[in-house]
């Protein structure tokens, strides 16, 4: 029985609701986060854009179907055109860090 142990493979990560980070047009850091909030308007939602580095804060009302990446491109357009009101908020204390997934081997 010469069964050798195979080299440990990287576990395939399941895609979860991981917040996506984009590059901030203000400070250039890749800490721009887009969250969605309900606004009680059918077919619309509010995208809240925040930067964890410079504190940039902006809100955009977008169609319900928008994904963060869509919001990002819209945001960049508006930001560059100066059409968007942008605030700079104090950066909250350390944001909750995502628990590093302790990927235990799932044995069947
Ligand atoms: Zn920034």
Mean pLDDT of the chain, nearest integer:
83
Topology classification of domain 21-88? N-terminal domain of TfIIb (2.20.25)
Determine the Cα–Cα distance for residues 32 and 22; give it in Å rounded to an integer.
5
pLDDT in tens, 30-58: 999 999 999 999 999 999 999 999 999 99
Residue 76 token pair? 């960049």
Distance 33 CA to ligand 1 centre (A): 10
Q: How far is the CA of 84 from the centre of ligand 1 (A)?
A: 15
- pLDDT digit string (tens) for 51-101? 999 999 999 999 999 999 999 999 999 999 999 999 998 865 655 554 444
CA 9 to centroid of ligand 1, rounded, Å: 36
What is the 43 CA–ligand 1 centroid distance (Å)?
29
Q: How far is the CA of 54 from the centre of ligand 1 (A)?
A: 4
CA–CA distances in Å: residue 49 to residues 6, 14, 89, 101, 102: 44, 25, 11, 26, 29
Spans of all domains in the chain: 21-88
């Amino acid at each position: 029985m010469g069964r050798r142990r195979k080299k440990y493979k990287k576990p395939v990560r399941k895609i979860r609701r991981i917040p996506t980070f984009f590059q901030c047009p203000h400070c250039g850091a890749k800490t721009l986060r887009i969250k969605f909030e309900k606004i009680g308007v059918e077919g619309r939602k509010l995208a809240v854009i925040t930067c964890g580095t410079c504190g940039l804060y902006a809100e955009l009302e977008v169609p319900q179907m928008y994904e963060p990446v869509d919001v990002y491109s819209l945001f960049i357009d508006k930001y560059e055109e100066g059409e968007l009101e942008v605030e700079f908020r104090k950066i909250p204390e350390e944001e909750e860090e995502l628990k590093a997934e302790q990927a235990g081997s799932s044995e069947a």
